[in-house]
Structure 1
Amino acid sequence: MFTGLVQAIGTMKPLGGDSWQITFVSQSADVIMQDLAYGDSVAVDGVCLTVEKILDNGFVATASPETLRRTTLGDEQNPEHYVNLEPSLRVGGKVGGHFVMGHVDGIGQLVTAEQTASSWEMTFTAPDAIARYIVPKGSIAVNGISLTVAAYEPELSQFTVAVIPLTYDETNLRDLVPGSWVNLEGDILGKYVEKFLSPGQQGGKTDMVTPEFLAEHGYV
Structure 2
Amino acid sequence: MFTGLIQALGTIRPLGGDSWQITCVSQSSEIVMQDLAYGDSVAVDGVCLTVEEVLKDGFIATASPETLRRTTLGGEQTQQKYVYPERSRRVNLETSLRVGGKVGGHFVMGHVDGVGRMLAAEQTASSWEITFTAPEAIARYIVPKGSIAVNGISLTVAAYEPELSQFAVAVIPLTYAETNLSYLSSGSLVNLEGDILGKYVEKFLVPGNQRPDAADEITPTFLAEHGYL
TM-score by length of 2: 0.88
Q: CA deviation at 1:8?
A: 0.5
Equivalent-residue separation in structure 2 for 1:193 and 1:110 (angstroms): 27
Q: 1:182 to 1:211 in 2, by over 3 A?
A: closer
Equivalent-residue separation in structure 1 for 2:220 and 2:92 (angstroms): 43
Identity %: 77
Match of 1:62 in 2: 62
Match of 1:42 in 2: 42
Match of 2:174 in 1: 166
Report the residue type matching 1:30 in the other structure: E
Match of 1:209 in 2: 218
Q: Residue 26 of structure 1 aligns to a residue in which SS?
A: coil
Q: 2:92 aligns with which of 70, 84, 92?
A: 84
Report the residue type matching 1:50 in the other structure: T
Equivalent-residue separation in structure 2 for 1:201 and 1:150 (angstroms): 31
What is the CA deviation profile of residues 152-184 of structure 1, one whole-angstrom value per residue up to 9, with x for unaligned ones?
001110000000111101111001111100000
Match of 2:4 in 1: 4
Equivalent-residue separation in structure 1 for 2:142 and 2:59 (angstroms): 33
Report the residue type matching 1:66 in the other structure: E
Match of 2:102 in 1: 94
Match of 1:130 in 2: 138
| Equivalent pairs, count | 216
Report the residue type matching 2:200 in the other structure: Y
The answer as to whether partners of 1:136 and 1:150 remain within 8 angstroms in 2 is yes
Match of 1:157 in 2: 165
Equivalent-residue separation in structure 2 for 1:122 and 1:79 (angstroms): 18
Q: CA RMSD in A?
A: 2.1
Report the residue type matching 2:155 in the other structure: L
Q: CA deviation at 1:66?
A: 2.2
Equivalent-residue separation in structure 2 for 1:211 and 1:172 (angstroms): 38
Match of 2:153 in 1: 145
Equivalent-residue separation in structure 2 for 1:114 and 1:79 (angstroms): 20
Equivalent-residue separation in structure 2 for 1:30 and 1:166 (angstroms): 19
Q: CA deviation at 1:206?
A: 8.4
Equivalent-residue separation in structure 2 for 1:157 and 1:201 (angstroms): 26
Q: CA deviation at 1:209?
A: 2.6
Q: Does residue 188 of structure 2 align to residue 180 of structure 1?
A: yes
Equivalent-residue separation in structure 2 for 1:79 and 1:39 (angstroms): 30
Q: CA deviation at 1:68?
A: 1.3
Q: 1:202 to 1:150 in 2, by over 3 A?
A: closer
Match of 1:71 in 2: 71
Q: Does residue 128 of structure 2 align to residue 120 of structure 1?
A: yes
TM-score by length of 1: 0.92
